[in-house]
A and B are shown apart, each in its own frame.
Chain A
């Protein structure tokens, strides 16, 4: 009987793809959970990680969200800030009042 190494490699390759794929899925789920617990510690049950994050967020309470990914809350804040153009933007750099602005040249 011929050796059929192609079938052997196909079997091992397929198993490797499936097992590595499953492992990567687990790792991705784990990092998603970590991200979620860091961004939204609103459940009341604070883990040591989320407490540290809250403390840092408290120090910079006027700053933008830490990760740069807007949460639903921050999006709503952006929308409100857009309506009131003289209000302080999220980044913490206050805009001048409308009457103190120079006209465009």
Chain B
């Protein structure tokens, strides 16, 4: 765990240098575009976290494996943290580029619903005293809530929104290599941070369960 933590810190530092130093100033938006190196990897980790909740919830309902339940719980918690960061950094980015902190367009609204659904997931777990029943209900919610992820991702294609369409996986001219590299470094760093947080949280949940037994 310590090694993973150290590697994560190094990767995050590299991501910071790449995003704030090596990547060039964007022509249209100026330096405020550097928020992208934080905002986009955050939403990637949120998608990843909720996808893990989806798979672990199915595994829990199929096999009643407590390890799967703990993984779903930990991943949902970390996912909520990163979704919160996504919303906050997007709002900060929106003010100088769109002229507003917030607007109820399809992407912003759907990601807010995603955030609230997984907050509800965590609240549901905390509200039910019977651990097994709570895990079962949470697993059902973890599966249902995951159907919001494609809605969030494709909202910028399906509806007319203020938010820009996907930049990485779009047809047409690609971004400059140095921007893609800086983004990839941050993707790796944030993914490592996700793994570190989830591993630590799962370990804590296991110890809590042992202490309660």
A: residues with CB less than 8 A from B are 1-5, 7-8, 10-12, 14-15, 18-19, 22-23, 26, 29-30, 33, 36-37, 43, 45
Contacts and interface: CB of A to CB of B under 8 A. Distances in A.
B35 A8 contact: yes
Given A8-B35, A14-B89, A18-B85, A1 B29 contact: yes
B167 to A, nearest CB: 18
A18 B29 contact: no
Binding site of B, secondary structure by majority: helix, strand, loop or mixed? helix
Binding site of A, secondary structure by majority: helix, strand, loop or mixed? helix
Contacts of A45: 210, 213
A8 B31 contact: yes
A-B pairs with lowest CB-CB distance, top 9: A4-B32, A3-B31, A11-B89, A4-B96, A11-B92, A3-B30, A11-B35, A1-B30, A15-B85
Nearest to B92: A11
Interface residues of B, number: 33
A43 B211 contact: yes
B197 A23 contact: yes
Interface string B74-105: 00000001001100110011011000000000
B92 A14 contact: yes
